[in-house]
Chains A and B, each alone.
Chain A
């Protein structure tokens, strides 16, 4: 371990840790916009400057490896002046319409402008690009708000591995673009939305969030994604019992701060009125078992041919015990009369590994067949 001092606090970190991470992990706040703990170092935002004892010029803490005995100052008049100057340049190229911005309250640039008391820019406001792209149903790209920190580019390249976006053009005209600025759908983008999550400003925003409330209007609920057995932690931002958007928590146990497209955008089923919430038994079977008074016959059209069956018309709700009792008795009957190989089990990728293990065990040991398969193999 390496021992260094940051703002008179003695800190121990693993070798090869950068000073910014060392400070942040120990509750010392240094402003930063391009740095992200899971991504490579860029050094483009120039905010995380610190003073190192024995060096004349302030140094970027994200690019500075902690060394034994290092003495770091993160706050001083000189540093404040420099950071304030850099932030002043940032906001000269960023609309200051925070009063109507959906990101207000969770925008890092806004947070720093507040911290450094920058009400407006002292320069000529010059917003570099007004391009607005809404070429996909998941997120919006509004380049006016982009501060070119490059987190989206790096997350797409380094974490997701698809490199759908990169910097295009140069200098003041630089912007983030797909190859040849084509529609997102024609790029290699998998719409995982991790770029949206790491974006510190309103340049990348979930479509579902627009004008649906700002940070202080939203409740946050930690949950586990139900899409597969990985068990990613997921944070649902809700307002009045409606899901506004989903994102990964800062430190998901299995997923870190990232999610895939299903977890992030595939949550509209949760509040869909057609969602099944309890077991159901077909009406003719229910009648036979004395659970339904009305006799009913299966129509001649196969249910497979009906694109969207009316669930209420075909089924009646029953409790779990009844449902399980019915299933086990039918399975026993069929096994006895036709043999275990007349039964096949198909498991789901949305179950956990443990569930799927138990399922195949049940099929093999209880039913006595090897007819087991899994939808993920299809």
Chain B
């Protein structure tokens, strides 16, 4: 399909949307769905049908609005662009919300003939009009939670209907793809990425443009692009959200990568625990095929591209790129030594680009707005924004996107709204089981790749767990060691046996059977596992223990009877 036809679809959709006086967005992402958003959206629709009003109101299913701890979330968007957020919207609240936001027309009410079911809804709406509880559900868009964020990846997430290609097009979707296909050479695309300073959002932070350049320069008839959607850190759901809530954005980023490196086929590798993401990505692929965005002649150019979904069985290690490729090939998901790197010998021995979901989701915006625009966000070495899944003991938890270089203080106290209750903020853990803990004494550390590494942690894929003063750090470390013991693939001995021995030592210390030399032994063992393990998972496994030993050694010492 040509660009013109896509433009027509986009314009038609924009025109359709602009006829509504009010658009009610209801989040149907996993967190809100599990909080009851399925019922909420049904109630919203029924109520709009039953309400006696002259207003044109559309109820739209959208993706994540960020404040997941207060879900289901609903946003009412006026024609003027003004927005109001509502939190904890259950069915009762949804009725009150509709009853109060639409202009109530008594004359209309008398004329309308309703089915018995809708009449019942109308009756409930009448009662709801008299209630006074809506106010406490209102969230001001001026909250620091919203104002402190800067959205690039999540810009359209929460506004776009993830199951509707037209809506994505109406938000400027596939414009970036069209731009690279018609105006840029593959080399220019790689250069643009390099200039933008975008680094791998899976956690390692390798410059994306450099990676693409390696694959572009490889000579091979067949090359692949793989989207790493095997997000596995406990509590992290950045990639899931982007795949669920704006699947076309990831697909577009993937296709731009494919054009840049010369690939004609690619795979989404998504873990089976993300059924909604799998459905929506599959739906996006089908819709894109139907509209000639995927297939033989992409947007009428001579570039051809196809994408498939491969489902992972949920092994944490399959997020490691070599293990991931083994898994796609149908082999046991274990890592192998590098080199050769995937850029020279990847999937089925062919040059392969593997990028994280968030990395690829950043690409369309960079192409549209230019590398310079992107490079001005963030710090000198860490450009752009980062999405974090804010979890743990905080008032506001959920999904946030912040510019690189923001301080931990701003995230915890302003966006997160501080630790609830009497407890105090103690530490923040980044990077999941591979990361480390940053103590409250380092609150003003800028969040960027280098600063976090200096503190013995990593940026990671975006898990950010806030720990308050009630949590014991040795037990926190043991939780993550349990995770690592379970998730070790068993290929190399330091990770397979070392993790078990680290946990045994932690058990001994936590159970009060520790001896003074155990702490040094623990540190030596952690260093051994770090320096001798085969893959990134094994090498970073001891991080939670090492970083808590570094910053909270006194808590360990307090557990050892003879040293007290």
Contact = CB atoms under 8 A, between A and B. Distances in A.
B532 A171 contact: no
Interface string A285-322: 00000000000000000000000000000000000000
A44 B534 CA distance: 7
A174 B493 contact: no
A147 interface: yes
A123 B528 contact: no
A148 B490 contact: yes
A93 B499 CA distance: 12
Nearest to A169: B490
Interface string A224-243: 00000000000000000000
Interface in A254-269: none
Contacts, number: 95
Contacts of B332: 166-167
B271 to A, nearest CB: 15
A46 interface: yes
Contact of A172 (B336, B497, B524, B528): B497
A316 B504 CA distance: 74
Contacts of A58: 531
Interface string B461-486: 00000000000000000000000011
Name the residue in A41, A85, A89, A150 with the highest tally of chain B Cβ atoms < 10 Å from its Cβ. Answer: A89
B485 A171 contact: yes
A86 B488 contact: no
A55 to B, nearest CB: 13
A44 B532 CA distance: 10
Contact of A57 (B339, B501, B531): B531
A86 B532 contact: yes
Given A45-B492, A46-B534, A86-B493, A172 B337 contact: no
B489 interface: yes
Contacts of B485: 171-172
Contacts of A170: 315, 486-490
A89 to B, nearest CB: 4
Interface of A is mostly: loop
Contacts of B499: 171-172
A92 interface: yes
A252 interface: no
Interface in A129-157: 147-148, 150
Contacts of B521: 122
A57 B65 CA distance: 44
Nearest to A122: B521
A44 B504 contact: no
A85 B501 CA distance: 12
A173 interface: yes
Given A44-B492, A89-B497, A172-B497, A82 B337 contact: no
Contacts of B336: 43
B491 interface: yes
Contacts of A41: 337
Contacts of B334: 167
Contact of B504 (A57, A126, A174): A126
B337 to A, nearest CB: 4
A167 B490 contact: yes
A60 interface: yes
Contact of B490 (A42, A82, A90, A174): A174
B494 interface: yes
B534 A172 contact: no
Given A171-B487, A173-B490, A174-B490, A85 B532 contact: yes
Interface string B500-538: 110010000000000000000100110010011110000
A138 to B, nearest CB: 26
Chain A interface size, as a band, is: 20 to 34
Nearest to A46: B532
Given A148-B496, A171-B496, A82 B315 contact: no
A152 to B, nearest CB: 15
Contacts of A172: 485, 488, 490, 496-497, 499-500
B533 A46 contact: yes
Contact of A174 (B496, B528, B531): B496
Contact of B528 (A45, A85, A93, A166): A85
Contacts of A169: 490
A165 interface: no
B497 A93 contact: yes
Contact of A45 (B493, B498, B504): B493
Contact of A63 (B337, B491, B504): B337
A214 to B, nearest CB: 26
**Best-surrounded residue of B486, B488, B496, B524 (most CB of chain A within 10 A):** B496
Given A46-B534, A166-B332, A92 B488 contact: no
A45 B493 CA distance: 6
B492 A46 contact: yes
A124 B504 contact: yes
A49 interface: yes
Q: Which of A126, A169, A170 has the most CB of B within 10 A?
A: A170
Contacts of B339: 63
Contacts of B501: 89, 92, 123-124, 126
Contact of B500 (A42, A126, A167): A126
Interface in B361-382: none
Contacts of B493: 44-46, 86, 89-90, 93, 147-148
Contacts of A122: 521
Contacts of A86: 493-494, 528, 532
A49 B531 CA distance: 11
Contacts of B487: 170-171
Nearest to A149: B493
Q: Which of B315, B489, B493, B532 has the most CB of A within 10 A?
A: B493
Contacts of B315: 170
Contacts of B491: 42, 44, 148, 150, 167, 174
B478 to A, nearest CB: 15
A124 B518 CA distance: 12
A174 B491 CA distance: 8
Nearest to B486: A171
B531 A90 contact: no
Contacts of A46: 492-494, 532-534
A61 B335 CA distance: 18
B489 A89 contact: no
A171 B494 contact: no
A170 to B, nearest CB: 5
Contacts of A92: 497, 501
Interface string A25-58: 0000000000000000111111001000000011
Contacts of B531: 57-58, 82
Interface string A195-233: 000000000000000000000000000000000000000
A89 B490 contact: no
A25 B61 CA distance: 67
A172 B490 CA distance: 6
B534 A89 contact: no
Given A86-B532, A92-B497, A166-B332, 15 more contacts: A43-B492, A45-B492, A45-B493, A46-B493, A46-B534, A82-B532, A85-B524, A92-B501, A122-B521, A126-B501, A170-B486, A170-B490, A172-B488, A172-B500, A173-B490
21 contacts: A45-B492, A46-B533, A57-B531, A58-B531, A60-B337, A82-B528, A82-B532, A85-B524, A85-B528, A85-B532, A86-B494, A86-B532, A122-B521, A123-B504, A126-B497, A126-B501, A150-B491, A167-B491, A170-B488, A171-B488, A172-B485
Interface of A: 41-46, 49, 57-58, 60, 63, 82, 85-86, 89-90, 92-93, 122-124, 126, 147-148, 150, 166-167, 169-174
Interface of B: 315, 332, 334, 336-337, 339, 485-494, 496-501, 504, 521, 524-525, 528, 531-534
The 8 A-B residue pairs whose C-beta atoms are closest, nearest first, are A174-B490, A171-B488, A43-B337, A63-B337, A85-B528, A89-B497, A123-B501, A44-B492
